[in-house]
Amino acid sequence: MLKDAFPDSSATLMVGSPGIGMLEVAVSIAKEWMDGGDRVVFIAVDLLPADLIEVMSAFGVSEEQRNEHLCIIDYHSSLLGSMDGRTACQGTDIKRCSDLEGIMFNISAMASDAERPLRIIMHSLSTLFLYNQANVVLKFVQISSSRIHNDLSTAIFTVNEGVHDERTVNHLMAISDGVMELKFDENLHRRMRIRNMRGCVTSSKWTPFDIRQVE
């Protein structure tokens, strides 16, 4: 089970090339957390809540699970210049924000109200870098990671490989407690590994994985 790779009080960087399926892997992890009764906060930077819910439904997340265990922080609408609140996601808790401070405020407020640690997924940091200065995004990740530790929560931040300079990616890796890598091999088969996880013994072996929707 993928969720077992991410301990409490940790922030993990998921790195993968475009098209590898980071969103689908993140949704699969979110489903495992919700199956266990955990509260999941999904920060949607690259897609609208309705599109995220469509992907979740394809991977077996039920409407009941969404309504009981999922909160979506919608940052994407602000990038499109639309914050009118219209949505096809009735029943699912959706919070809209237009800046990074709003994201942190919502996470902090939910962590204070939660009966158990939150499970947080942000997809993706790469889009944040397009609309914000690099030092601002790095500071956001650093502060968010510190708050996640204090709240004993778990977070996964996705970032696209090959679209940022090496110094920025190395800084993100240094901030994070762990790094999960996804790649295509020479035959275009998908592979993943936990490169490192602070306080844990990890293997550098690449493991095959596939992306399958629920039939």
Residue-wise pLDDT for 64-81, tens only, equals 999 999 999 999 999 988
Provide the domain limits for residue 200.
8-208
Asked if the structure places residue 202 within a domain, the reply is yes
pLDDT of residue 45: 96
Look at residue 1 and tell me if it is in a domain.
no
Question: How far is residue 145's CA from residue 153's CA, in Å, rounded to a whole number?
Answer: 9
- Model pLDDT, residue 113: 83
Specify if 2 maps to a domain.
no
Q: Which amino acid is at 160?
A: N
Which residues are paired to 214 by β-bridges?
A: none
pLDDT score of 64: 94
Q: Is residue 121 predicted with pLDDT exceeding 80?
A: yes
Residue 172 has pLDDT above 70, yes or no: yes
Residue 83 has a pLDDT of 59
What tens digit of pLDDT does each residue of 86-120 get?
Answer: 555 778 899 999 999 999 999 988 888 877 889 99
Res 88: pLDDT: 59
Query: To the nearest whole percent, how much of the chain has pLDDT over 90?
Result: 75
Residue 203 has pLDDT above 60, yes or no: yes
Residues 6+ apart with CB under 8 A from 8: 117, 152, 153, 154
Residue 87: per-residue pLDDT: 56
How confident is the model over 50-75, as a mean pLDDT?
Answer: 95
Whether 22 is in a domain gets the answer yes
Residues 59 and 30 sit within 8 Å (Cβ to Cβ): no
Residue 214 lies in a domain: no
Question: Residue 3 falls within a domain, yes or no?
Answer: no
Residue, of 73 and 84, whose pLDDT is higher:
73
Q: 157 to each of 2, 67, 113, 141, how far by Cα in Å?
A: 15, 23, 22, 9
The string over 150-162, giving b where at least 16 C-beta atoms fall within 10 Å of a residue's C-beta and e elsewhere, is ebebbbbbbbbbe
What pairing do the DSSP bridges indicate for beta strands 93-96 and 40-44? unpaired
CA 118 – CA 28 distance, rounded (Å): 16
pLDDT of 149 reads 86
pLDDT at 206 over 60: yes
Q: Sorting pLDDT into bands at 50, 70 and 90, what band is 84?
A: low
Across the range 29-39, mean pLDDT stands at 95
Residue 62 in this model has a pLDDT that exceeds 80: yes
Number of domains in the chain: 1
Average pLDDT of the residues of the chain: 91
The domain that holds 171 is classified in CATH as 3.40.50.300
